[in-house]
């Protein structure tokens, strides 16, 4: 038989096998695959099909031999090693099963079935830590349950339940061990350590500063800042009633309010689709993009006078900003981040019905009228008004207290440079 006729015969047997498989004739397909193997003993697809038929028939030893040969002939497909692992599992050969699953992970570290089988092996062996690790990895790579094949859903559910149970047991053990140590240190400032522990144990997420535009390195990611950093807070809070009265007068006039989110039709709105151009979250701007808003500042002299005593960030074209922020009943502001960690955002609550909440990172707070807080808006944050009434907050920004005066001057100059470049080239959006 010439090499050409050999290749032709091989191709013909492959065609017959595939045709028989697609036609639901497994015995005929098996015979064709066996003829393929007579011509080419290392044919991975034929070996896999022969192994699967042996596995279905309960001949796990024959299946193991076929799957072993297929994996050794190719080995680039994780499922070849998974097939071998399943045959070894049925034969009770844990060591060979583990080796095959290791090779599957080497071929594709994110193969869901291989990860689940590793978890299952370690669970059977009582290796709790390893099982939790494998099941956790399986849960991490698995798509949403409604996108999974129905036959995989029980396995993924088990992986998630095992991982969560392990995590809860670990947390309880660590908490119990640390409890006497915490008692000894009662009164010490341990909020940061407790948060680190919660993140380690999976009870809370890690949130970092992720500004959309300008990032100053070396600044700690602090969700809410201590009041002691801002000596102007109490003086501003003393003006709350006057500021609220000016807002109410503006509200009665019902002029100058605009939707806070105003993306154009050609811009991606992502999480803002529901609030884009919506009055459900609106603003009355006093200072916007670093400039006073004519017609608005004149209507709120007490508010502007109180706010102007605060060290506002000077970033031409961007800051300072100051506004009344209105959130209508039953409205949710989705998670988002701000533009720069060079400045912080401040809230002076004016009208706060019950059922209004604000989250920055892992911390959720309720506004209290007349009580200022300062936070880093480059950490993911969101807000809720679950009440049936309007919520109103005076929002403004201030320099980050850990940015020194020389740095502030250079940040101002940098923004001026960007503005100049943009005005010349009409390409840089500052």
Q: Name residue 383's beta-bridge partners.
A: 333, 358
For the chain, domains (ranges, CATH) are: 3-166 (1.25.40.10), 227-425 (2.60.120.330)
Q: How many angstroms separate the CA atoms of 361 and 378, rounded?
A: 10
pLDDT-based confidence at 1, cuts 50/70/90?
A: very low
Helix (H, G, I), strand (E, B) or coil at 292: strand
* CB contact at 8 A, 394 and 378: no
pLDDT of residue 425: 54
Q: Rounded to whole angstroms, how far apart are CA atoms 127 and 120?
A: 10
Q: What is the mean pLDDT of residues 194-208?
A: 89
Mean pLDDT calculated for residue range 381-407: 96
Instruction: Provide the pLDDT for residue 390.
Output: 97
Strand blocks (E) in 328-416: 331-336, 343-351, 356-360, 363-365, 373-375, 381-385, 391-399
Task: Indicate whether 423 pLDDT > 80.
Answer: no
Instruction: Please check the confidence at residue 369 and state whether its pLDDT lies above 60.
Output: yes
Cα separation, 173 vs 150, in Å, equals 36
* Residue of 386, 381, 239, 209 whose CA lies nearest to 304: 239
pLDDT category, 365, cuts 50, 70, 90?
very high
Q: What pLDDT was estimated at residue 266?
A: 65
Provide the β-strand partners of residue 363.
Answer: 360
Average pLDDT in the chain: 90
CB 35 within 8 A of CB 19: no
The mean-pLDDT minimum among 205-214, 295-304, 385-394 falls in 205-214
* 140 touches 180 (CB < 8 A): no
Checking if the pLDDT of 72 tops 70, the result is yes
How much is the pLDDT for 306? Answer: 97
Instruction: Quick: pLDDT tens for 232-270.
Output: 999 999 999 999 999 999 999 999 999 998 887 666 567
Q: What is the pTM of this model?
A: 0.72
Q: Which helix (H) or strand (E) holds 291?
A: strand 291-292
According to DSSP, the β-strands at 381-385 and 356-360 are antiparallel
């Amino acid at each position: 038989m010439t090499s050409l006729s050999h290749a032709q015969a091989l191709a013909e047997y492959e065609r017959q096998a595939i045709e028989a498989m697609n036609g639901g004739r497994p015995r005929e397909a098996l015979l064709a695959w066996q003829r393929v193997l007579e011509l080419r003993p290392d044919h991975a697809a034929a070996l896999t099909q022969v192994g699967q038929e042996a596995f279905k028939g309960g001949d796990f030893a024959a299946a193991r031999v076929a799957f072993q040969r297929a994996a050794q002939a190719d080995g680039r497909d994780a499922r070849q090693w998974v097939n071998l692992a399943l045959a070894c599992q049925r034969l009770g050969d844990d060591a060979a099963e583990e080796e095959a699953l290791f090779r599957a992970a080497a071929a594709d570290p994110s193969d869901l079935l291989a990860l689940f089988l590793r978890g299952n092996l370690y669970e059977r062996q009582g290796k709790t830590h390893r099982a939790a690790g494998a099941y956790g990895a399986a849960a991490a790579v698995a798509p949403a349950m409604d996108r999974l094949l129905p036959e995989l859903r029980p396995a993924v559910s088990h992986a998630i339940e095992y991982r969560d149970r392990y995590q809860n047991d670990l947390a309880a053990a660590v908490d119990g061990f640390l409890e006497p140590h915490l008692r000894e240190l009662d009164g010490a400032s341990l909020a940061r350590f407790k948060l680190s522990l919660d993140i380690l144990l999976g009870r809370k997420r890690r949130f970092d500063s992720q500004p959309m535009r300008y990032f100053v390195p070396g600044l700690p990611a602090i969700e809410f800042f201590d009041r002691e950093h801002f000596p102007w807070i109490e003086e501003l809070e003393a003006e709350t009633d006057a500021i609220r009265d000016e807002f109410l007068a503006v509200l009665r006039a019902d002029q100058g309010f605009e939707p806070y989110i105003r993306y154009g039709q050609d811009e991606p709105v992502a999480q803002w689709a529901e609030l884009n151009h919506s009055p459900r979250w609106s603003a009355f701007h006093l200072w916007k993009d670093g400039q006073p808003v004519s017609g608005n500042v004149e209507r709120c002299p007490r508010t502007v006078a109180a706010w102007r005593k605060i060290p506002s960030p000077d970033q031409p074209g961007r800051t300072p900003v100051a506004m009344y922020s209105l959130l209508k009943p039953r409205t949710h502001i989705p998670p988002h981040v701000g533009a720069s960690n060079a400045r912080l955002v401040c809230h002076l609550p004016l009208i706060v019905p019950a059922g209004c909440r604000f989250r920055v990172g892992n911390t959720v707070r309720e506004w209290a009228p007349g009580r200022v807080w300062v936070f880093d808006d480059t950490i993911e944050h969101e807000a809720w008004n679950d009440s049936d009434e309007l919520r109103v907050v005076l929002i403004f920004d201030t320099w980050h207290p850990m940015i020194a005066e020389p740095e502030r001057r250079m940040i101002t100059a940098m923004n001026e440079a960007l503005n100049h470049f943009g005005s010349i080239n009409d390409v840089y959006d500052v």
